């Protein structure tokens, strides 16, 4: 054995290992990576350094490199349950769900009372659609750690997906009892209560979720949406402040906010308007607690009668839906005039457009962050009542709205619509509320739906984000598609498993001309 081989069998000094651990625990990831690489080079058989290297690489988003490090660590210490659990986390992040399941099971075999491994296994089984097995894993995690709020919440989601709403309700309440400021549990409880017909109670939990995330004292002040900005987001907010001021509400306040945001905009260095940039300390102080906060939310009350238009031919629409190979139809005059006007005012005037991290420059609003209003929930429920053969027993599971900049129509810029994807639901409803007078090309501006279903074995990342893989799948089905142009108050109802994307957008400039679509998701994918 040569000198080099001899050195590989010797552990590094304890002081070096202590320093490595200190770097990692204090989130000095660059230093931790440098030192772990040094140790693994000099002592390639020292498992701990490989383990820390895997953790650092995983934390900094370098999943493939993290996988290599963890695999080496496992080979050096096959009995280390923690490393097998961490390997499982990395495999799951890489969408290798079957391999992740195997790794978690190996960790549990080595350490049967490993709470985190049971919990992580439950998450993976749920992602694989093995809901009964996921339920068992979550229950085991809770048995080992009764105060495990996240396990309660995910168990509640599993029970909700299984249609066991009463049990889900109880579990979500337990999660909140364990952790009163648990945002996700409040949101999930809201969705469950709404599915049970308890709309007022649901709205209280959606409101609580909003206040916890965006209120005066948010539970996560360091969330990326408080610490980052884009010119596209600033442009939207400036336009909205002018719109609110012009309506006669808080004129001085919103005019001053518009001027302040304009100042910040002029001081930000950017290449593209849609670039996501870190806010400087100075700009954070200037924007204070106004940026991405619910500083103005209009009421959107439920109507005394149905929010859905009363002239719709229910039988014909239903027949059209089922005549399509996979399930697709669209209808005009979707909402009643009163509902359309109220919803439009709510979406234009409410500062609930917190999501701006899409490369296309559009902004988004969600149920748990201010979009949940009595009218929105009523629209979803009225749909189910109006078209029982289409929606069956599928309840509302999610809802969002997106608002697009008119510059999405320009060539050679970064503004664009949503890329091709499928959604985690059974039925999609997508409808538009922007007046037709804003649309410069009446033949486009809507939705493209492909006659291609996302394979049920695909992971969420595959069918929602992997555009190359999706395009290949569509190509195999000869790229058959239905193009539904934008039309004010038009709704598209389709099988959520079908790939779809935003069509070309060419709208007039101006805040009130921004293209707004609302999406309602019902049920669970594969059911």
What's the topology of domain 3-214? Answer: 1.25.40
Count Cβ neighbours within 10 Å for each residue of 443-479 and write b for 16 or more, e otherwise: ebbbbbbbbbbbeeebbbebbbebeeebeebbeeeee
**Cα distance between residue 317 and residue 322, in whole Å:** 9
- pLDDT at 310 (0 to 100): 92
Q: Flag whether pLDDT at 414 surpasses 70.
A: no
How far apart CA 135 and CA 5 sit, in angstroms, is 49
Q: Is the pTM of this model over 0.75?
A: yes
* Adjacency order of strands within the sheet including 481-484: 481-484, 447-453, 498-502
Nearest to 351 by CA among 216, 209, 239: 239
340-383 confidence digits (pLDDT tens):
999 999 999 999 999 999 888 899 999 999 999 999 999 999 99
pLDDT tier at 523 (50, 70, 90 boundaries)? very high
Q: What is the third-level CATH fold of 314-522?
A: Jelly Rolls (2.60.120)
Q: Has residue 408 got a pLDDT over 80?
A: no
State the pLDDT at residue 194.
Answer: 97
Q: How confident is the model at residue 3 (pLDDT cuts 50, 70, 90)?
A: very low
Mean pLDDT value across residues 328-342: 98
φ, ψ of residue 201 to 5 degrees: the values are: -65, -40
In which residue ranges of the chain is CATH 2.60.120.620 found?
Answer: 314-522
Task: Say how far apart CA 335 and CA 341 lie, in whole Å.
Answer: 9
pLDDT in tens, 238-282: 999 999 999 999 999 999 999 999 999 999 988 888 899 999 999
What average pLDDT does the segment 427-452 reach? 96
Looking at residue 453, its pLDDT comes to: 95
- Angle at the Cα of 482 (from 480 to 485), degrees rounded to 5? 150
CA distance 495 to 497: 5
Residue closest to 184 by CA, chosen among 160, 162, 216, 167: 160
- Average pLDDT across the chain, whole number: 93
- Go through the chain and tell me how many residues it has: 527
**What's the CA gap between 5 and 429, in Å, rounded?**
64
Q: Hey, what are 519's tokens?
A: 């999406």
Query: DSSP code of 317?
Result: H
75: pLDDT strictly greater than 50 = yes
Rounded distance between C-alpha atoms, residue 460 and residue 472, angstroms: 17
CA atoms within 13 A on the CB side of 199: 14
Predicted pLDDT of residue 352: 98
Name the helix (H) or strand (E) containing 60: none
CATH 1.25.40.10 range(s) for the chain read 3-214
Judged on CB neighbours under 10 Å (0-12, 13-18, 19+), 128 is middle
Least reliable range by pLDDT among 28-32, 194-198, 316-320, 494-498: 28-32
Query: For residue range 466-490, what is the model confidence (pLDDT) as tens digits?
Result: 999 999 999 998 889 999 999 999 9
Given a cut of 70, is residue 427 above it in pLDDT? yes
Give the pLDDT band (50/70/90) at residue 13.
confident
């Amino acid at each position: 054995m040569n000198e080099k081989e001899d050195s590989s069998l010797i552990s590094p000094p304890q002081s070096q290992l202590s320093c490595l651990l200190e770097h990692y625990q204090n989130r000095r990831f660059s230093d931790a990576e440098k030192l772990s690489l040094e140790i693994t080079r000099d002592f390639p058989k020292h498992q701990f350094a490989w383990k820390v290297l895997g953790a650092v690489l995983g934390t900094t988003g370098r999943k493939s490199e993290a996988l290599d490090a963890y695999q080496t660590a496992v080979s050096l210490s096959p009995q280390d349950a923690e490393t097998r659990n961490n390997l499982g986390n990395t495999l799951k992040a890489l969408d290798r769900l079957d391999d992740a399941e195997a790794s978690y099971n190996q960790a549990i075999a080595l350490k049967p009372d490993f709470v985190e491994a049971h919990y992580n296994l439950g998450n993976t089984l749920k992602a694989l659609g093995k809901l009964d097995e996921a339920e068992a894993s979550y229950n085991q995690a809770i048995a080992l750690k009764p105060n495990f709020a996240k396990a309660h919440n995910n168990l509640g989601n599993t029970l909700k997906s299984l249609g066991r709403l009463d049990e889900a309700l109880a579990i979500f309440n337990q999660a909140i009892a364990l952790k009163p400021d648990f945002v996700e549990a409040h949101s999930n409880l809201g969705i469950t209560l709404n599915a049970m017909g308890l709309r007022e109670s649901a709205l209280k939990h959606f409101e609580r979720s909003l206040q916890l995330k965006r209120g005066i004292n948010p539970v996560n002040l360091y969330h990326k949406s408080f610490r980052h900005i884009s010119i596209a987001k600033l442009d939207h907010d400036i336009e909205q402040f002018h719109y609110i001021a012009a309506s006669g509400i808080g004129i001085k306040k919103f005019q001053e906010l518009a001027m302040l945001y304009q100042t910040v905009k002029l001081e930000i260095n950017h290449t593209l308007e849609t670039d996501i940039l870190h806010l400087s300390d100075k700009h954070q102080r200037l924007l204070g607690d106004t940026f991405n906060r619910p500083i103005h939310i209009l009421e959107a009350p439920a109507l005394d009668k149905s929010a859905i238009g009363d002239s719709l031919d229910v039988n014909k629409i239903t027949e059209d839906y089922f005549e399509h190979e996979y399930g697709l139809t669209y209808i005009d005059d979707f909402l009643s005039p009163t509902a359309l006007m109220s919803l439009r005012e709510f979406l234009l005037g409410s500062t609930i457009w917190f999501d701006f991290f899409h490369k296309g420059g559009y902004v988004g609003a969600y149920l748990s962050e201010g979009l949940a209003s009595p009218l929105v929930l009523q629209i979803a429920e009225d749909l189910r009542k109006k078209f029982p053969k289409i929606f069956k027993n599928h309840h509302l599971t999610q809802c969002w709205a997106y608002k697009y900049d008119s510059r999405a129509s320009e060539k050679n810029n970064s503004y664009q619509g949503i890329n091709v994807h499928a959604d985690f639901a059974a039925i999609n409803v997508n409808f538009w509320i922007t007046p037709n007078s804003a649309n410069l090309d009446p033949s486009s501006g809507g939705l493209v739906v492909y006659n291609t279903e996302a394979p049920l074995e695909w992971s969420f990342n595959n069918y929602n984000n992997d555009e190359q893989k999706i395009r290949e799948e569509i190509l195999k089905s000869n790229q058959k598609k239905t193009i539904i142009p934008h039309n004010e108050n038009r709704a598209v109802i389709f099988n959520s498993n079908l790939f779809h994307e935003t069509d070309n957008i060419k709208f007039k400039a101006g805040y009130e001309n921004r293209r707004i679509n609302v999406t309602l998701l019902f049920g669970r994918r594969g059911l």
